[in-house]
Amino acid sequence: MKKIWIVLIVIAAIALIAYSSIKGTYNTMVSMDESVNGAWAQVENVYQRRADLIPNLVNTVKGYAAHEKETLEGVIEARSKATSVNINPENLSPQALRQFQGAQDGLSSALSRLMVVVERYPELKANQNFLDLQAQLEGTENRITVERRKFNQSAQAFNTYIRTFPKNIYAGIFGFEKRAYFEATPGTEKAPEVKF
């Protein structure tokens, strides 16, 4: 009878340890998954801030450079495309992230073309409203870089956690999948060629 009690106590202890391990691992995965979702929300937030600045910037430029209609329409169209790409953070696949990043890169490119056009209008470059909007846009671009880095760090911590043994087994059981990262745009690894 004493051996049966010892066996039952050992089985109960093993079950309690296993339960604690699984519970702790699952809760940590949920917490880290929510951190990735929160980081993604911040990325979307700063991109939205940039999108919100664009109509004011375009209207300011339009007052000085009305005949640059094609460039202004390009910026508005790129903004529309960028804001139309919505991604659910739960389904943040590499393909979805590339689609989002492509739309945002298109907007960045359109804004760069707009800034080149602005160089032709000294009176616009001296306009205080334009200067304020340009400073806000530059600050937002810096925020985008910071939030993308934070998202990548959060995704990396989550991915590392769910891929280590034995957590990878629990991740598979509970359906936690690796998260995608922001990556550099193809071609940016090459230095631009400067000719004089």
CATH number of 74's domain: 1.20.1440.20
Nearest to 107 by CA among 86, 83, 129, 130: 83
User: In one letter, which amino acid is 126?
Assistant: A
Report the chain's mean pLDDT, rounded to a whole number: 87
Burial class (CB within 10 angstroms; exposed 0-12, middle 13-18, buried 19+) of 189: exposed
Do the domain assignments include residue 185?
no
Please give the average per-residue pLDDT across 42-55, as a whole number. 92
Is the separation of the CB atoms in 61 and 68 below 8 Å?
A: yes
Residues 190 and 170: their CA atoms lie apart, in Å, by 41
- pLDDT at res. 185: 65
Do the domain assignments include residue 179?
no
Number of domains observed in the structure of the chain = 1
pLDDT tens digits for range 5-14: 999 999 999 9
Do the domain assignments include residue 187?
no
Which of 78-92, 137-151, 175-189 has maximum average pLDDT?
Answer: 137-151
Do the domain assignments include residue 180?
no
Do the domain assignments include residue 61?
yes
Do the domain assignments include residue 91?
yes
Cβ count near 25 (within 10 Å): 18
Do the domain assignments include residue 196?
no
pLDDT tens digits for range 95-124: 888 889 999 999 999 998 888 888 888 887
